[in-house]
Structure formats: structure tokens, C-alpha cells
Amino acid sequence: MIETDLLVVGAGPTGLYAAYYAGFRGLTVTLMDSLPEPGGQVTALYPEKLIFDVAGLPQVKGQDLVDNLVAQAAQSKPDYILGHRAEKLEQRGDRVRVESDQGLEVLAAAVLITAGIGTFSPREVPVGQEYEGRGLRYFVPKLDELSGLDVLIVGGGDSALDWASSLEPLARSVTLIHRRTRFRAHERSVERLLQSRVRLLTPWELHRVFGEGQIDGVEIINNATQERAALEVQAVVAALGFVADLGPMTRWGLEQRARHIVVDSAMRTNLPRVFAAGDIVDYEGKVKLIATGFGEAATAINNAVPIIRPGAKVFPGHSSDVG
């Protein structure tokens, strides 16, 4: 069992900033997330897109923002529990016990839920799942990892087209297949792709993945003609979308409204010692923005501190005074 002052459930931007702020207030902090790396939706869906509404940053790529938040959180020396979904939550006197889907237990003085739109898992490709980690991936947080490779991207949404365009100047070749002739992505993304060197094949889908150890190639099939073709690739990026689900959190006894957790102005939920912030919360006037989530995280942490450390003040003082 891991013991900590604060357990943050969700390692997206809001959760990462909360981890920093917990350390600023002198708390030990642990982050748990079902995804294999921090960053949440930003890393999963738009790591290469520019974000313009983060205070103090005229523009920043999604993954650069996440990297900076991880570096900022590192000052607090957080423990990360990645690839674990928070499954059970129960009160234990002046502690809250959370158990992951893999049986890992965390005992915390308070819990902050920053799970965005819930457990966020990629839709798996119908074939080749055994190559995950050996050439098959669902996320591309670091484009350089695919530099010089022949890459196949499967999908027709914004993430698939964004990754194809971003990888074009780095990869040896980029091929994108989509099982339909029409794309779900924004028209501008489609136009940009058509003007690039990316090889675009529709309506084709993945039929077989092969290779000893690592991926050496794939076989694809045309849905209209049943024609088959082999492609020599060393990397497959499956961008088939993601499934978001509040899952076990719906059974924790939290007050909910329209699949969101209800909180008050201090980010308190109806459960003792349990707070929530970010896209997962709902209150009158709620605006779903990363910028809003940062403020909610700070509010939640500062209001949790007197509960975790009786006698402590809500107001944290100014970080510029700490030095």
C-alpha cells in the first residue's frame, strides 16, 4: 500500500499542475492514470497542435505544454502510477483508500479527481495487437521516435491526419489508410494532407501485421474491391479514436450531473476529503478550458490543505515570496 498526503486521479494538464501545487503547499503527492504516460487528452489527441489560450504563452504545442507541466510537477517529487485505472474508493476514517484495477492500493489524506472525461482508452486495431510496444502504438508524443522510419497511420480523424502531416518531414515515408472515402477530420486538415507527400489510400483497412520481434510490414485490404497489398513499414500508428468512460467512478457515491462530478466553489465533492477539478466537474457557469482547470486545481489544493494539515491556512502566500 502506498501512503501519500494527496492522490491525484488523472495525469492530464490539470492533474499535473495540481501535483506541482501540492508540493508547493508541502504535501506529498501521487498521480494515478489509466494511460501509460502523463498528458491525458493533450498527449493522446493533439500533441502537435498549437494551443493559444494558456496564460503567459502566446502559443505552445500540446506536448510541449505537457512536458513543461511534468517538469514543473517534478519540483514536488510526485510518484506516478501509470497504466492503472482507479477502480474503488472508500473512506477509512481520516484517510481515503483507492484501489486500482490491478490491485494497487493507495491510502491518501485527500483525493483530487482530475480525470477529464473519464478513463480514456484507445480503440484497438482489429489485428496486430500483439505488436503493441514493438512497432504498434496509439500515441505519438515524441515525433522524433519515428524519424527515418516507414510509418503507416490507420484512421480518418483529426489525430490521424495531424500525425501524418507532422511526421511527413521526419519519417522516411508516411502512408495513411482509412476504411472510408470520407474523413471525419477538419476540411483544412484534409486539404493540407492532400498537398503533402503522404501516401493516402482509401477505402483500405489493416488486414494483417507481420514481423519477427518488431513490425516488418503489413497487409492491407481494399473494402470495395477486396484487393490486397503489402506495405513495408516499421511503425503502425493506430488513430481509431478513443473511448471515454467514467466507469468505476459512477459507483463511488459521488453526486453527478450529466456525467460530470458536482462540486462547490472550493472544488469539494459530496464525499469527505474528495475534491475534483478540470473537465470532469460541473457547477453553475463552468467553462471547460485548460486555463480554467489550472485555477480549479489551485483552488482544490489550497482548500484541501487545512483538512490534510489541521491548522494550516487556505491562502498559500505568493510563490514569488518563497524564492
Annotated binding residues for FAD, written as ranges, equal 14, 33, 41, 46, 86, 120, 279, 320
> For the chain, how many residues are written?
323
* Cα-Cα-Cα-Cα dihedral sign, residues 249, 14, 270, 102: positive
Quick one: CA torsion of 92, 120, 294, 276, rounded to 10 degrees?
Answer: -30
Cα 223 to Cα 78, 116, 207, 290, 321, distances in angstroms: 48, 36, 10, 40, 64
> What distance in Å separates the CA atoms of residue 297 and residue 36, rounded to the nearest whole number?
22
Query: In 3-state terms, what secondary structure has residue 235?
Result: strand
Cα 139 to Cα 88, 142, 178, 188, distances in angstroms: 27, 9, 17, 22
Amino acid at 147: S
Q: Where are the beta strands (DSSP E) in 67-190?
A: 79-82, 86-92, 95-100, 105-113, 119-122, 136-137, 150-154, 173-177
Query: In 3-state terms, what secondary structure has residue 16?
Result: helix
**Binding site residue list:** 14, 33, 41, 46, 86, 120, 279, 320
Cα 234 to Cα 85, 156, 276, distances in angstroms: 30, 20, 41
